[in-house]
Structure 1
Amino acid sequence: MARGKAPRRTIESYTPRQINTTIKPGDCVLMRPAERSNPQYVARIEWIEADVRGGNVKVHVRWYYRPEESVGGRRQFHGSKEVFLSDHYDLQSVDTIEGKCTVHSFKSYTKLDAVGNEDYFCRFEYNSCTGAFNPDRVAVYCKCEMPYNPDDLMVQCEGCSDWFHPACIEMTAEEAKTLDHFFCETCLPQGQKKLQNSHTTSRHSGGYKTATTEVKKMHKPSVI
């Protein structure tokens, strides 16, 4: 007579000995990749189960995908710590967990004073079967009309409040960081535009330095 499947039960939390930190449903974790040369997988714990004796612990997880793992791959606006919450669920041994991490919302990530090794952010859900993203529209910025990459420096125009990459307005990052005020070409007063055209080399000490320019990484809502 075939043996029946051993009964299992859901547990509220567990402390894997390899990380000595308690995990619970809702936590995000780093998991051992199949190839050690690859980056760790990022997953969200949905629930934890064990056998009746409390052993053979497994975690039901929902995977986060990196841009490289999605249809279309990594694009210019994807941040280095960006992940997508997928519809891919799995059952894994708790022994594959190598640490806890935090997956921030896009907004909260951009407000971090410092980004740690365990900090990630998510602004999309990803359908692993169709390759579709939700939302399917994202913010765009600058003259180049690219979505925002929080790794990139941008400066804000004091007139229209739009954000610009220094390279797109013919500045170096070092020059952008020294600005006191900034107005884009559209918002710059006509007289100062003429001055700028006549004295290109003094652009940063003339028409472009006119009020305190914000130079930071920030999200501005608009759509593609």
Structure 2
Amino acid sequence: MAKTRPGKRDLESYTIRGTNKVVRVGDSVLMRSSENEKAPYVARVETIEADVKGNVKVRVRWYYRPEESMGGRRQFHGIKELFLSDHYDVQSAHTIEDKCIVHTFKNYTKLEDVGPEDYFCRFEYKAATGGFTPDRVAVYCKCEMPYNPDDLMVQYHPACLNMTIEQAKQLDSFMCFECSSLDTKRPHNKGSGSALANGKAGHKRQKR
């Protein structure tokens, strides 16, 4: 049952205007940008509230795209990657265009088909400082970059490397001969992963 407060009441759901799609607290949604040519914003619905006139507002927690962050988009960022920010806003529910799904990174990499409604998130982002949680991630390949699920990562057959299955099972990790040769020619990273750097300031949403 919806809660009641003087002049306002909390709603359990909201039906997107012109559709039969129902939005509930905790759902991820696409919200219309004030600039028509821009892609819609992505947000997570925290509360849904109506006033005495029936106007519905949603309190949302914004997802940022990499290019909206201080560090900008980097090579390892996926096309559908988002950062869950600490930036909250109250917006008109009429600006909700559609629902979407923001997967965990692990679940996203298991999808057989990625649809237009599918996104993923592996970092939380502090909008004021440009900081990330976690601030370091595992790196792969000789390029020493975090995994981008849009890029092909190749695994090898032991036989193709003149290695038996038994020998392969005894390895904690594997690096091909070419990468091993390159690795001896450069200093090793002291950290266990790639640090996420900051740069220029990003964009801010406008209240609607």
| Pairwise TM-score range, normalised by the shorter structure | 0.7 to 0.9
Q: Within 5 Å, which residues of 2 pair with 1:64-79? A: 64-79=63-78
Distance (whole Å) between structure 2 residues aligned to residue 95 and residue 116 of structure 1: 24
C-alpha displacement of 1:187 = 10
> For residue 105 of structure 1, what is the aligned residue in structure 2?
104
Cα 1:113/1:161, change in 2 over 3 Å: farther
Among all aligned residue pairs of Structure 1 and Structure 2, give the percentage whose two residues are the same amino acid: 66
Contact 2:16 2:98 in 1 (8 A): no
* CA shift digits 1:14-67 (9 cap, x unpaired): 2122332111100000000111111110000001000246x1001100000000
- Give unpaired runs (5+ residues) of structure 2: 1-5, 159-167, 181-191, 195-208
> For residue 56 of structure 2, what is the aligned residue in structure 1?
57
Distance (whole Å) between structure 2 residues aligned to residue 16 and residue 187 of structure 1: 52
Letter in structure 2 aligned against 1:21:
K
> For residue 85 of structure 1, what is the aligned residue in structure 2?
84
Three-state SS of the structure 2 residue aligned to 1:85 is strand
- Which is higher, the Rg of structure 1 or of structure 2? 1
After TM superposition, what 4+ stretches of structure 1 lie above 6 angstroms from structure 2?
Answer: none
Instruction: Supply the RMSD in Å over aligned alpha carbons.
Output: 2.1
| Structure in which a larger fraction of residues adopt strand | 2
Q: Which structure exhibits the higher relative contact order, with contacts defined as CA atoms closer than 8 Å and separated by 6 or more residues?
A: 2
Distance (whole Å) between structure 2 residues aligned to residue 20 and residue 143 of structure 1: 49
- Give unpaired runs (5+ residues) of structure 1: 1-5, 164-182, 189-221
Q: What is the aligned length?
A: 166
Distance (whole Å) between structure 1 residues aligned to residue 26 and residue 63 of structure 2: 13
Contact 2:80 2:118 in 1 (8 A): yes
Contact 1:58 1:92 in 2 (8 A): yes
